[in-house]
Structure 1
Amino acid sequence: MKIAMIGGSGFVGTRLIDLLKEDSKNYECKNIDLLPSHFFNDITVIGDVREQAQMDRELKGADVIILLAAQHRDDVTPVSLYYDTNVGGMEVTLRAMEKNGCRRIIFFSSVAVYGLNKKNPDENHPKDPFNHYGKSKWQAEQVLEKWYASHPDWNIDIIRPTVIFGERNRGNVYNLLKQISSGKFLMVGKGENKKSMAYVGNIVAFVKYLIDNVTKGYNVFNYIDKPDNNMNQLVAHVSNVLNKHIPATHFPYWLGMLGGYGFDVLAKITGKKLTVSSVRVKKFCATTEFDAKKAHSCGFKAPFTLDEGLARTLEFEFVHPRTDDIQFISE
């Protein structure tokens, strides 16, 4: 099976290629990305999902397309880049697939399409994205839905993952784990808000499961590793894995948001991208709990529990000495 990944040089794509290459007799992988790959340059072509002629050429012969390419950070400017890449890139990809006779696509969307503080939404929950990333992902899904209406013989699988973490990732979960493990953690709010997470080892296994088993129809899956931890439970788990006492100072929500707005002003004045912002404080304090029964009842069995994924990440990043400085920057 020939698999073409668009945007596979990043965190998830790298782990997915690594998993599929373990079974090289059954899978032939190709990666198309704006950036070279840290580990798989032998199968990587430098390319732009927004360029029609290039995608027409590079998707030739593919059996399955995995679309990972996206603008995802909170601070992308201009905001039109979200829509040029996340929506425009989808349109380009579909046209290139049709030209090359490829009728299977796995698209990485996001739970951001639901918005903040929703009560355990499943895949049919109303969409209410609050930022340009979520809005552009939802628009890309709408492009897919419209396409499927006129291409009912295609197989379209959409994955809406929650925040993904794991070894080598430098995103919000890593920053949170680093701050907790430092012993200087500042908890905004009571710490009772639940934080949904997905370990990268599980989500790439889920993609492989879809490649092998879900070959018909239009399917949408939330992906979250269960059960969800709240912030207090997460601190306790980090403390247990690292075998150290980790105190947590609680600050009221209003004070945390006030500080976030202060950093917003500072970022605007200095023109620098700062690690603290009002959006990130709001996301930190939000309950991010999502229904994932569909993914976990379709026959897929996650190879790791959430706590095992957290432990593997903590041990790799904070316990065992690193042998290189390769890392992936994400949210």
Structure 2
Amino acid sequence: MNISIIGGSGFVGTQLIALLRKSANLQIKNIDKQASATFPELTSIANVLDTDALKRELVGADLVILLAAEHRDDVTPTSLYYDVNVQGMRNTLEAMQHNGVSRLIFTSSVAVYGLDKPNPTEDSAKEPFNHYGISKWEAEKVLDAWAKDHEDWNINIIRPTVIFGEGNRGNVFNLLNQIATGKFMMIGKGNNQKSMSYVGNIIAFIQFVLLEKQTGYNIYNYVDKPDFTTNDLVYHTGEILGKEIPTVHIPYWLGMMGGYGFDVLAFITRKKLNISSVRVKKFCAVTKYDSTKAMSSGFVPPYSLEEGLHRMLKAEFGK
């Protein structure tokens, strides 16, 4: 099977390629606007916004995995979310049809549901609160309309929650780094549940879908259970690292005021900062999602959530 991964030079894509390459029956090609530091020999440089380039690069493909996305909280201009995440979907579908490719795995996001929702399932209302979530939902709607006119296609949508693991430099790493360096302060009470996905499990699930879900139109939330509260996450991290965790809690309103202050500072300096009002809001929100469908599909996660946390901390902080 010839697999083309669009946007595979990043964190998830690099680990996915490493996993899929272990199978002699899978031939992997990475298509990305940036070179892959780990797999340059498998990478062709092309932008998801360039339909003609995608048409050239997808020749001979049997299946496409679409990972390419604008996902940071501070992307400017905000139109990039829609250019890459929505128009990029249209361009990918056009290039696939041009080459007779009818199998797609698309990594969307639980951001389509919005914040502080009561454990949403795949069928829950979509109320994204930021440009990333809105653009991911718009991309899904493009794909849904396409599927209605292409009933013979095999389309799988995976909506992971926040992904963490070795080599990641996202919000979870920032939190762990603050704890490891003694710079952590809890905002709010810390009782909010935080669904997370370990990268070793999410790439294994993508491989499972690739091999086992070869027909139909399927949508899956992906979450590793059980859901930790922020207090649980801090406790486990401190225990694994052998760090004393501060017990001082900053009120939510004060944390948000600080976040707005950093927003102003980022605007004035034109720099991207690790603290913002959006990140404070996300840190304090309940982000709990239902993954019953994925976990009853026959897939068995190779790692527990705590084991994934331990593996990341060992790799990043030598513990």
Taking the TM superposition and a 5 Å limit, the aligned residue runs for 1:116-135 are: 116-135=115-134
CA RMSD across the alignment: 0.9
Where does 1:136-147 land on structure 2 (aligned, <5 Å)? 136-147=135-146
**Equivalence for 2:195:** 196
Instruction: Identify the residue that residue 10 of structure 2 maps to in structure 1.
Output: 10
* 1:1-331 correspondence to structure 2 within 5 Å: 1-23=1-23, 25-319=24-318
Letter in 1 for 2:195: S
Superposed displacement of residue 275, structure 1: 1.0
1:234 and 1:55 mapped to 2: Cα distance? 41
Cross-structure match for 1:324: none
The one-letter amino acid of 1:274's match is: L
- Indicate the SS of the match to 2:289: coil
In 1: Cα distance, 2:32 partner to 2:247 partner: 41
Structure-1 separation of matches of 2:296 and 2:177:
33
Is the partner of 1:169 in helix, strand or coil?
A: coil
SS in structure 2 opposite 1:288? coil
Contact 2:185 2:246 in 1 (8 A): no
For residues 273 and 14 of structure 2, the distance between their equivalents in structure 1, rounded to whole angstroms, comes to: 27
How far 1:243 sits from its partner (Å)?
2.5
Deviation at 1:80, TM superposition (A): 1.0
Q: CA deviation at 1:265?
A: 1.1
Deviation digits for residues 17-45 of structure 1 (CA, Å, limit 9, x no counterpart): 0001111x110000000111011000100
Q: Secondary structure at the match of 2:299?
A: coil
Structure 1 unaligned spans of 5+? 321-331
User: Aligned pairs, how many?
Assistant: 319
Give the structure-2-normalised TM-score. 0.98
| Aligned counterparts of 1:174 and 1:109: Cα–Cα separation in 2 | 21
8 Å contact 1:185–1:249 — kept in the other structure?
no
Q: Distance in 1 between matches of 2:212 and 2:279?
A: 37
TM-score, normalisation: structure 1? 0.95
- List runs of 5+ in structure 2 lacking aligned partners: none
Q: Give the drift of 1:204.
A: 0.2
Runs of 4+ in 1 over 3 A off after TM superposition: none
